[in-house]
Amino acid sequence: MQVITQVNELRETMQALRCRGKSIGFVPTMGALHEGHLQLLRASANDNDITVCSIFVNPTQFNNPEDYNLYPRTLDADIALLQATGCDYIFAPTPEAIYPQQNMLQFSFGKLETVMEGEHRPGHFNGVATIVGKFFNIVQPHKAYFGQKDLQQVAIVRQLILGLGFNIELVCYPTVRETDGLAMSSRNKRLNADQRKIAVSLHVALELARKQLVQVPLPTIKEAVAAYLKDKPEVALEYFEIADPLTLQPLTTITDVQEVALCIAAHVGPVRLIDNLVVNLSEV
């Protein structure tokens, strides 16, 4: 496994591998790796000749400078974890290498970026699209792997691939959870012991909503989720939406739909967490 920090070195290495007919899988991360990331890396290693993992805390997707500064950075531990996944190359550039000048790019994803994460984190998806587009151009992978926990991000990347004509297959894997149901996230490392215990209430809220689907009106479900979380210590609900799993647009009824996405964001203490469930209504 080789660690590369320079853009040109990785670009030239990938071009040489492609010329030799090697298939390349790519897993973009911001580090502080957990089993959710490792699942993607093992899948890539199984599907492709070469696997590349980027570790880069991208400044352009943070609309809160404090959040960017506090984001966990554990490069040495991440490298140790990657040893057993089949990863061949780690791309760990500096911000200066990726952004040699001020970023002026602007992407628009229409209604997709006006809801949920787009509504509450202005500019976030422009930063996501910028860095993913840059990495796609540098790595030129055949397949790119993302986790369902960032469901709206997956939808944004799907539109980026289609809109810019990247010849890349997008592969999405289910959310990996702790034994109590909490979605694995790098941000979990910032929770203290009490906050960690209460953070599972986000998953419990999603399950509460899932059990009520097809039984009660959607506004009533949203009220029930808000009421459940209202009295939880240190939990501040930012949004809970019942949405179309592809467009992420809120639904007012589930008549004539086969799947719905239950999406939630909340602060637990100082840490902002997100989670979702994609529910097949025939299985409710």
Amino acid of residue 9: E
Q: What are phi and psi of 172, to 5 degrees?
A: -115, 130
The answer to whether the annotation marks 151 as part of a ligand binding site is: no
181 is in an annotated binding site: no
142 is catalytic: no
Question: Which burial class, exposed, middle or buried, applies to 28 when counting CB atoms under 10 A from its CB (0-12, 13-18, 19+)?
Answer: buried
Instruction: State the pLDDT at residue 282.
Output: 86
Nearest to 247 by CA among 234, 260, 258, 256: 260
| pLDDT tens-digit map of 235-255 | 999 999 999 999 999 999 998
Closest by alpha carbon to 32, among 95, 89, 87, 82?
82
Domains defined along the chain, listed by start: 2-173 (3.40.50.620), 186-283 (3.30.1300.10)
What angle, 0 to 180 degrees and rounded to 10, lies between the N-to-C axes of helices 7-19 and 124-139?
Answer: 50
The pair of structure tokens assigned to 196 is: 């960690």
Nearest to 150 by CA among 184, 119, 127, 120: 184
Is 259 within 8 Å of 280 (Cβ atoms)? yes
* Tokens, residue 20: 């030799």
Two tokens, residue 256:
């004539």
31 marked ligand binding residue: yes
36 is in an annotated binding site: yes
Q: What is the reported pLDDT for 263? A: 98
19-29 pLDDT, tens digit each: 999 999 999 99
Residue 229 near residue 205 (C-beta atoms within 8 A): yes
d(CA 91, CA 6): 8
pLDDT in tens, the chain (284 residues): 999 999 999 999 999 999 999 999 999 999 999 999 999 999 999 999 999 999 999 999 998 899 999 999 999 999 999 999 999 999 999 999 999 998 888 999 999 999 999 999 999 999 999 999 999 999 999 999 999 999 999 999 999 999 999 999 999 999 999 999 999 999 999 999 999 999 999 999 999 999 999 899 999 999 999 999 999 999 999 999 999 999 999 999 998 899 999 999 999 999 999 999 999 998 88
pTM of the model: 0.95
Alpha helices in 140-192 (DSSP H): 151-164
d(Cα 205, Cα 67) in Å, to the nearest integer?
25
Is 165 one of the annotated binding-site residues?
no
pLDDT value of position 178: 97
Q: Any binding-site annotation on 210? A: no
- Contact (Cβ atoms closer than 8 angstroms) between residue 91 and residue 4: yes
Angle at CA 125, nearest 5°, toward 120 and 126? Answer: 120
Q: What is the pLDDT of residue 171?
A: 98
User: What pLDDT score does 256 carry?
Assistant: 85
pLDDT single digits (tens) 121-130: 999 999 999 9
How far is the C-alpha of 227 from the C-alpha of 231, rounded, in Å?
A: 7
Report pLDDT for 255: 86
In this prediction, residue 63 carries a pLDDT of 86
Q: What angle do CA 269, 31, 134 make, to 5 degrees?
A: 115
User: According to the model, what pLDDT value does residue 243 have?
Assistant: 97
Alpha carbons 270 and 194: distance in angstroms, whole number = 13
Supply the pLDDT for residue 252. Answer: 92
